[in-house]
Amino acid sequence: MSNVFWAIASGIAVGTLARYLMMRRDVRQYPSYPHAVVNHLSLGFLAATLGAVAIPALAAEEYTAVTFLALAATQFREVRSMERQMLVALETSKLVPRGKDFIEGIARTFEARNYLVLFIALLTSGVTFWQGSLLGIIAGISAVAIVRKLIGGKAIKDIAKVRAGEFRFEKFNLFVEDIHIMNVGLERTRKIYEERAKAVVLEPFNDNAREILANVGQRQAIAHDAASLLGIYRDVDTAEFTPLLRRNIDTGRIGMIILPMEPDTECLLQAVRHVPVLESAVAKPLASRAGRCAAD
């Protein structure tokens, strides 16, 4: 009885801790408010409980416990749907929206992390049940460390060189180096750009990176993160000051123009470099024979 208790308790504790540690990386994105954090910690606790009781229940020949794991899968899919719907509803209140691709990535992340919590709790509980509490906790903490390393993913700095660029006007046309951004008709607007705008150029390292940066959702995510971290000089009725990223079709280079509230160029470059690469944007043409042939 004591062995079963410690197996379940250690599984729940390590699993819930794992959910908390995985959540901390998302403060910049979501959740960022106490009620949302409580919601996800509660779901993490439930996932950890389901994982922790599975091994002791099966050892006691309570095979109906497997049905609870199937129920958990259904509930975690609902978490993904709930997050998607809520974030889509919040898009209209943002000066620079995240974009559908970014939202879908966040929703997938929250679903997947509940599964990870379940498996960590399952591992901790199983090792504790068969080998004792000390080894169980060590196994659980090791699993947490491995998971945190694996879920980090890539950032823009891993796929492209991010550097400051120069922008200019040719009559009414705004360019970032050789990349045409848009037409700016009002002289007052052009003057504000000349006073406040910052330009960034992203140069992909290879053809895989070129295709990632070509993704419209990835570019929207870059604009959103940069505006969120540094502020944006615009309001709801000044759409002309929306940050834009445009592509040089010949080279795949990306030119970005933004009017940040914080004028420090190095801070802007750091913000862009640390934008996550979206799962939906990942493309690997170099993994195919045709892609390698075209690159040669």
HSE of 78, CA atoms in CB hemisphere, 13 A? 7
Residue 54 pLDDT greater than 80, yes or no: yes
Q: What is the pLDDT of residues 126-158, one digit of tens each?
A: 999 888 888 998 999 999 888 888 777 789 999
Q: Which of these ranges, 26-30, 125-129, 283-287, has the smallest mean pLDDT?
A: 26-30
Q: Would you call the peptide bond into 31 cis, given omega within 30 degrees of 0 as the criterion?
A: yes
Please name the residues in contact with 213: beta carbons below 8 A apart, sequence gap of 6 or more: 159, 160, 202, 204, 219, 247, 252, 254
Burial of residue 209 (CB within 10 Å: 0-12, 13-18, 19+) is buried
Question: How long a stretch of residues is the chain?
Answer: 296
Please name the residues in contact with 223: beta carbons below 8 A apart, sequence gap of 6 or more: 96, 242, 243, 244, 245, 256, 258
Provide the whole-model pTM. 0.85
119 or 3: which leads in pLDDT? 119
Given this model, what pLDDT does residue 162 score? Answer: 97
The pLDDT of 223-247, averaged and rounded, is: 92
Given this model, what pLDDT does residue 26 score? Answer: 47
Listed by start position, the domains of the chain span 2-150, 156-295
Residue from 158, 176, 156 nearest 166 by CA: 176
Given this model, what pLDDT does residue 1 score? Answer: 55
Candidate ranges 104-113, 140-149, 172-181; pick with highest mean pLDDT: 172-181
Given this model, what pLDDT does residue 27 score? Answer: 41
Residue 18 pLDDT greater than 60, yes or no: yes
165 or 69: which leads in pLDDT? 165
The pLDDT of 107-133, averaged and rounded, is: 89
40 or 295: which leads in pLDDT? 40
The Cα diameter of the chain in Å comes to: 81
Confidence of residue 30 (pLDDT cuts 50, 70, 90): low
Average pLDDT score, the chain = 87
Q: What is the pLDDT of residues 79-88, one digit of tens each?
A: 788 888 888 8
Distance CA 280, CA 296 (A): 26
